[in-house]
Amino acid sequence: MIGKNLKHDAATTHVTGESVFIDDREALGSEVHIGLVTSPVANGNLLAIHSKDALAHANCLGVWTASDIKDNNWGAVVHEQPILVKDKIGYMDEVICLFATDKREKIEEIKKLFSFDIDELKPVLTIPEAKEAEGFIYKVAKPFIKGDFNAVFKQAEHKLSGTFICGGQEHFYMESQAAVAYPMEDGQVEVHSSSQHPSETQRVVAQALGVPFHKVVCIVKRMGGGFGGKESQAAPIAAYAAIVSRALNCPARVILTKDEDMKITGKRHPFENDYEVSFDNTGKITALKVLLQADGGAYTDLSASILERGLFHIENAYYLETCHIDGVVYRTNNHSNTAYRGFGGPQGAMTIESILEDIAQTLKLDSYEVRLRNIYRGEKQTTPYGQVFENNMLPPLFEGLFSSSDYEKRKIAIDCFNAKKNGKVRGISMSATKFGIAFTARFLNQANALVNLHLDGTLQVSTGATEMGQGVNSKIAQIVAWNLGIDYLDVKVMTTSTEKNHNTSPTAASSGSDINGAAALSASNKIKSRLTSLAKLHFSGAISNDLIEHEITKGELDADIVFKNNKVIQLSSKKEILFTELVNMAYFNRVSLGGYAHYKTPSLGFSKNSVEGKAFNYFTQGTAVTEVELCEYTGEVKVLRADIFMDLGRPINPGIDRGQVTGAYVQAMGWVTSENLFYSDKGSLISHSPTTYKIPSIQDTPRVFNVDFITNDDNHCNVVRSKAVGEPPFLLGISAWTAVKNAISYRSKTKLVNITSPATNETVLNELTRVKNV
Amino acid sequence: MRNEIILYINGERHALHGEQAFMPVGDYLRYIKGLTGTKIVCAEGDCGACTVLQARVIGDSFSPYISVNSCISRMYLLDKCHLITVEGLGKSIDMHPVQEVFVDQHGAQCGYCTPGFICAMAGMANDLKANGKEKTPQKIKNYLTGNLCRCTGYEPIIKAGMELNLNKVEKLSLLYNDEKILSELIELKGDVEVKFLDQHVYLPDDLQKAVAFRKENENAKLVSGATDLGVVANKGKLILNEVLSLNNIDSAYEIKETEGGFEIGAKASLDLCEKKLEKDFPEFSSMLHIFASPQIKNIGTLIGNLVNASPIADTVPFLMVANVDINLIGPSAERTISINKFFKGNYKELDIAKDEIVKSVFISKTDHAYKLYKVSIRRDLDISSVTFAARYKMSQGKMTEINLAFGGVGPIVLRMPELEADLMSASFDSTLIKSIVKKIPSLLTPLSDHRGSKEFRTQICQNLLFRFFDEVSGSAEASV
């Protein structure tokens, strides 16, 4: 059961179109649609809202502004972001007010009837501008310091310095933000939300309405993709639905269009990281100093943790003897940037991958050799934040992929190809991932699960995990089915709802299966314990009847009693009973067939004030080699081949995990090549739909794409010795960008390749032109 | 005159009067019929989540099933069509083979793009089967270029396609009783006109009637595949109240091949152009290969791309250097004009009267060679930053004839008479090219936008001329 390639629990309904997403819910009775009216400026003071014309429209049923909201501020960490603009406008297209209509197709028409009086101010739109204005959101409490950077750097033979710059990224989940709220009796409200974080959504809705938390239920059946974009920012959207539904006492639905979603919601943080590095003749880094600088956008959101994860991943797979790592998040007048797969980790790791490419070019060495010289070795080396890096799989991952991808031969072939000069130039690069698994805020590393065992032997399992395609439901079902020795299809993971599982953490940080799977395992063990004790009584010949009852409250697991093939077996006596028979026996003896458990990831704790403790439970690791071809006339980038080698411990479902790996790689490949967020000089997002914002298409996926997993049975610190997979392979897409750097370096006689990310054709062509000009 | 739109959806007859006739197809499916498997994501025909399959009665038979974007189409454009949605292909208890392989190969993750992929791949299977062709990874990709997926990285979807057993796939025309449906639809002759409040659509059955209507209704928009106007309307930038559509004019769908060339009808799709012109204009055909998505090419027309008159219309540079003739039909007469006069020089300004309609385009077969380049941020399914077209003849190391055009670098697609003269002025060598390339910046007026800065666009034009030289001369040493 564990390690089996079973189908995704919703695969059948997905492929037939039967799966129900928010906007697929049938409209109930007098249900209304909500329109959002947004700011035409990026910075300013809102003086007046003119909604008279809109209210006069036959299909406009009401208008709501900040003053209609009890607690208008929300924030995952800092309670500062307005649900609707009250007076200060933070960014272009920030939501100012809501209206309701009985006709969805009238939304655009009504929207045009609003106008605002605004005292417009000059916006701060870039990191350098924010730096000058000293607009900070967050500064790292204490830098990560190892050794004496200045001393080592001063005496070093080779030095480089510069700024690594990468752009943001639109999540482009296919299902835009959506919610529908139903008013219930006694002031209660039921909100169906496309949210990665139902507990947060419940809280924000309750506070916006000014009702206690127990009057709000947030339900998440599934999302049409999340990628972090629905971790915090789904909550205000759900609040819009709740506010209108409450006011009109009817169901209210808010469905953002793709254009609205892209303009209103936050994205991956752009970073500009200043660095100084020294290294020896072999390419080994001797000292590294980095100041990570992120564009947080208008509000704090999760920016502080995202910056910190950038710091935590600055060294990526490479051991640093001496370093000084610091960071800051700036406040700008851009949309409030938020969680996105990797959560700052990619922006940190890409910095050192870029540096390693530069070192290789400087020393005229192959970048693989340089990387191999720098990777963590053994089990005792410590990270820049003081955690000992255990279960180090990096050396076999590097060496294994080097040979399986035929790196050496292909490198020679590329040398020959590039020597010919036919308007094309190729490059190759291997990069790595060593992604820390755990929320760095310790309190989030908890989960709870509820397991209901029915009399026909089937189970319903509920946790706080939300399903967004990543297969967390399937994995939880596999864990429970395996634990009870029953069929996969006899376990159904149910709709996520805050009335079953509360105070849950977001399905984020790749931890969904880890913590919710562990909680479900523990909850199912409560039932299993009782059934084990009951089975022992039964096998011992004890009788129960109308007068005598088997008394079991807690029960206890026993290695002699195994659950297998829908049977419960006593190994010592070879006696067995059908699982369903035992379940019925339990029921008639009034033994509980329900299990609830709470789980917390053990022995975590990191202090950012003193930079000590254990930040991560373990690390998911992997390597990737990418080969690209650039067109020298146009700068176009083509990814010819990608080979990936990953350590996922003992994968629960290798089919699902493989899909996570290919999906993450291609998503990252898009981030570093074609996905270019383009803004007007007033801070308006111009690339706000797929016509203008280019995520990879099926033609862009690597022409040759190999994915393999390394064997690793030793991840004892996680449920069924598996490893988290959601974010770690995202970092492997960075190799597409380092391969572009490598390709350009073939056309450079002396100049160090210096490109930003994404490597669009314009970026590539400009750099090719620059390096060719001697 | 019929006053209702008649079509079939998953084998079921629908007759639409009034408001419903004007709805976007995706909205009708989802909100009126509860067929919510079809998803609306971008509402601009760029992501494919709304893909459904469509067959149209033209003449006395159904055209083959094609994949289309339901989000940008309108119900009145589907008169005499049979639409199959994801629900119509199979249910969980009785899945279509494409649905089965998607389940087995983890082709679906979040599930939101999935129904669109299922329809597109079912269309592919139907095509390959009908044409007796085998599937390859590249072919699968070509059929799915118009479907975006953010979860899988596409690899599991390509695998699903490769695992598909075509022998198990039934013809789409057999899923429902298309023969019986045809027998009814074939009887629907004459014009169709539907009105609802201030909305009005007219579907004549011949061009003369269309022209007459256009004379009476000057504001009526001529809507063909709605691949552009449907998008603009969806984004609230255009109200499509009065519409004239040529969809029911059977003869307009044709591409007539004669000895001298091809006459391409007003309704001939880009897909048909790609296929029919492949032998005689392989360069154009392969440019169409990376043009838009299958869903758009199946329904968008060459003439639509032409009269839209955008400076980044991908087909126009080719049509200009090929010097095609435009056949216009007006209330009293027909006339023919060269494309190079059809574009009058200012942004979107064409030599066409308000009551005229482009009936066809004529492309002559000649012995010229062509080079066509398209540069965009993403290679496939993206709007160009710059396009380049050249038609030429060489003799003894010299250009004896050359037509050049650049798109994306001015208010219209630009012909380059000065460069053309220069190119023929001396022997075609790198000295000549280098001197010509230097002139380019002064001849262009590109804009800076999200598809590239003006400097980038200018440099691309220069580099494309180098590329043209390198490819034509076969020089070993690239000029860039």
pLDDT in tens, B211-260: 999 999 989 999 988 899 999 999 988 889 999 999 999 999 999 999 99
Which member of A26, A222, A699 has the closest CB to residue B380?
A699
Judged by CB atoms closer than 8 Å, whether chains meet at A174 and B41 is answered as: yes
Which segments of A554-653 does DSSP mark as H helices, in order? 579-588
Interface of A with B in 227-256 (CB under 8 A): 227
Long-range contacts of A547-555 (CB under 8 A, 24+ apart): A549/A589, A549/A590, A550/A585, A550/A589, A550/A591, A551/A589, A552/A586, A552/A589, A552/A591, A553/A592, A554/A529, A554/A530, A555/A526, A555/A528, A555/A529, A555/A530, A555/A531, A555/A591
How far is residue B313's CA from residue A722's CA, in Å, rounded to a whole number? Answer: 52
- What residues in B contact A658, CB-CB < 8 Å? 106, 156
- Coil vs helix vs strand at A570: strand
The tens digit of pLDDT for each residue in B163-198 reads 999 999 999 999 999 999 999 999 998 999 999 999
What amino acid occupies position A117?
Answer: D
Tell me the percentage of chain B whose pLDDT exceeds 90: 88
C-beta of residue A93 within 8 angstroms of C-beta of residue A685: yes
How far is residue B122's CA from residue A732's CA, in Å, rounded to a whole number? Answer: 33
DSSP code per residue over A165-200: EE--B----SS-SEEEEEE-GGG-EEEEE--S-HHH
To the nearest whole angstrom, how far is the Cα of A159 from the nearest Cα of chain B?
32
Interface of A with B in 664-703 (CB under 8 A): 664-667, 674, 676, 678, 686-687, 689-692, 694-701
| Angle CA B332–B350–B299, to nearest 5 | 85
Residue B208: closest CA among B341, B356, B76: B356
The tens digit of pLDDT for each residue in B115-160 reads 999 999 999 999 999 999 999 999 999 999 999 999 999 999 999 9
Q: Whole-prediction pTM value?
A: 0.97
What crossing angle do the helices spanning A394-404 and A367-374 adopt, rounded to 10°? 160
pLDDT at B447: 86
C-beta of residue B25 within 8 angstroms of C-beta of residue B71: yes
Judged by CB atoms closer than 8 Å, whether chains meet at A658 and B106 is answered as: yes
The tens digit of pLDDT for each residue in A251-265 reads 999 999 999 999 999
Residue B145: closest CA among B125, B120, B109, B178: B120
Which segments of B269-354 does DSSP mark as H helices, in order? 270-276, 282-289, 294-299, 302-308, 316-321, 339-342
What's A162's DSSP letter? E
How far is residue A74's CA from residue A435's CA, in Å, rounded to a whole number? Answer: 30
CA-to-CA separations, A433 to A161, A352, A647, A734, in angstroms, rounded = 23, 11, 10, 9
* CA torsion angle B128 B134 B137 B139 (round to 10): -40
Which member of B144, B151, B154 has the closest CB to residue A469?
B151
C-beta of residue A86 within 8 angstroms of C-beta of residue A142: no
Q: Given A632, A727, A762, A767, which residue is catalytic?
A: A727
pLDDT at B128: 97
- Res. B478: pLDDT tops 60: no
Judged by CB atoms closer than 8 Å, whether chains meet at B95 and A16 is answered as: yes
Judged by CB atoms closer than 8 Å, whether chains meet at B92 and A692 is answered as: no
ipTM score over 0.90, yes or no: yes
A contact test, residue of B377, B440, B464 with most A CBs within 10 A: B377
Contacts of A651 (CB under 8 A, 6+ apart): A3, A657, A709, A722, A723, A725
Which member of A421, A422, A691 has the closest CB to residue B46?
A691
Contacts of A192 (CB under 8 A, 6+ apart): A22, A25, A179, A180, A181, A182, A218, A219, A220, A221
- Band of the pLDDT at B479, cuts 50, 70, 90? low
Residue A591: closest CA among A532, A539, A540: A532
- Res. B475: pLDDT tops 90: no
Pairing outcome for strands B61-62 and B51-58 = antiparallel
Nearest residue of B to residue A262, measured between CA atoms: B42
Sign of the dihedral defined by the CA atoms of residues B160, B163, B166, B169, in that order = negative
CB atoms within 10 A of CB B417: 11
CA-to-CA separations, A541 to A429, A534, A535, A582, B399, in angstroms, rounded = 67, 11, 10, 14, 102
Which member of B102, B144, B151 has the closest CB to residue A698?
B144
- Coil vs helix vs strand at B261: strand
Judged by CB atoms closer than 8 Å, whether chains meet at B34 and A16 is answered as: no
A17 Cβ under 8 Å from any chain B Cβ? yes
Interface of A with B in 288-327 (CB under 8 A): none
CB atoms within 10 A of CB B451: 28
Interface of A with B in 454-513 (CB under 8 A): 468-471
CB atoms within 10 A of CB A749: 7
The tens digit of pLDDT for each residue in A362-392 reads 999 999 999 999 999 999 999 999 999 999 9
C-beta of residue A639 within 8 angstroms of C-beta of residue A736: yes
CA-to-CA separations, A765 to A632, B379, B441, B480, in angstroms, rounded = 7, 15, 17, 10
A86 Cβ under 8 Å from any chain B Cβ? no
Interface of A with B in 589-648 (CB under 8 A): 632-634, 636, 638
* CA torsion angle B403 B409 B411 B412 (round to 10): 20
How far is residue A481's CA from residue A2's CA, in Å, rounded to a whole number? Answer: 9
- Res. B476: pLDDT tops 60: no
B contact test, residue of A6, A9, A12, A14 with most B CBs within 10 A: A14
Q: Which stretches of chain A drop beneath a pLDDT of 70?
A: none
Question: Which tokens sit at A410?
Answer: 């292909």
For this structure, is A727 an active site residue? Answer: yes
pLDDT at A29: 86
Sign of the dihedral defined by the CA atoms of residues A121, A126, A130, A136, in that order = positive
How far is residue A52's CA from residue A113's CA, in Å, rounded to a whole number? Answer: 8
H/E stretch holding B65: none
Q: How would you write B337-367 as a 3-class SS string? A: EEHHHHECCCCCCECCCCCCEEEEEEEECCC
Contacts of B163 (CB under 8 A, 6+ apart): B101, B104, B105
A15 Cβ under 8 Å from any chain B Cβ? yes
- What residues in B contact A7, CB-CB < 8 Å? 103-104, 106
To the nearest whole angstrom, how far is the Cα of B141 from the nearest Cα of chain A?
6
Judged by CB atoms closer than 8 Å, whether chains meet at A21 and B39 is answered as: yes
- What residues in B contact A20, CB-CB < 8 Å? 36
Q: Whole-number mean pLDDT of chain B?
A: 95
- What residues in A contact B310, CB-CB < 8 Å? none
What's A530's DSSP letter? H
The tens digit of pLDDT for each residue in B435-474 reads 999 999 999 888 888 889 999 999 999 999 999 999 999 8
H/E stretch holding A242: helix A234-248
How far is residue B355's CA from residue B331's CA, in Å, rounded to a whole number? Answer: 7
Contacts of B470 (CB under 8 A, 6+ apart): A423, B478, B479
Judged by CB atoms closer than 8 Å, whether chains meet at B154 and A666 is answered as: yes
- Coil vs helix vs strand at B403: strand
The tens digit of pLDDT for each residue in A125-134 reads 999 999 999 9
A104 Cβ under 8 Å from any chain B Cβ? yes
- Band of the pLDDT at B381, cuts 50, 70, 90? confident
